[in-house]
Amino acid sequence: MIRTQISLDDREYALAKKEAEALGISVAEFVRRAIRGVLPPSGKAVWMRYAGLVESGNPRSSQSIDEIVYGSKD
C-alpha cells in the first residue's frame, strides 16, 4: 500500500469523519472506498461508467436503438 496525504477543508473532514464513524471505519478507509467508487472497474473501459446516462428524449429509444445509433431505416 502506498501512503499519501490529502487536504480537506473543515466541512469536508467533518462530514467524512461523521460518515466513517457511522460505518464503523476509519476516515482513511472511508476515503479509499470513495476513491474506489469513482474509479473504473478493472478491465473495463472508462466510458462504460457513463453507459445509460445519456437520454435521447425519445421515450421509445430502447425500442428503436438501431435507428438512433445507425439512422433511420430506408
Query: Could you list the pLDDT tens digit for every one of the 74 residues in the chain?
Result: 899 999 999 999 999 999 999 999 999 999 999 998 888 777 666 666 666 666 667 776 666 667 767 776 65
Q: What are the residue boundaries of the structural domains of the chain, listed by start?
A: 10-70
Q: Which three cell numbers stand for residue 21?
A: 464513524
Neighbours of 13 (CB within 10 A): 13
pLDDT for the residue numbered 73 = 63
The pLDDT value given to residue 43: 67
Q: What is the rounded CA–CA span in Å between residue 6 and residue 15?
A: 15
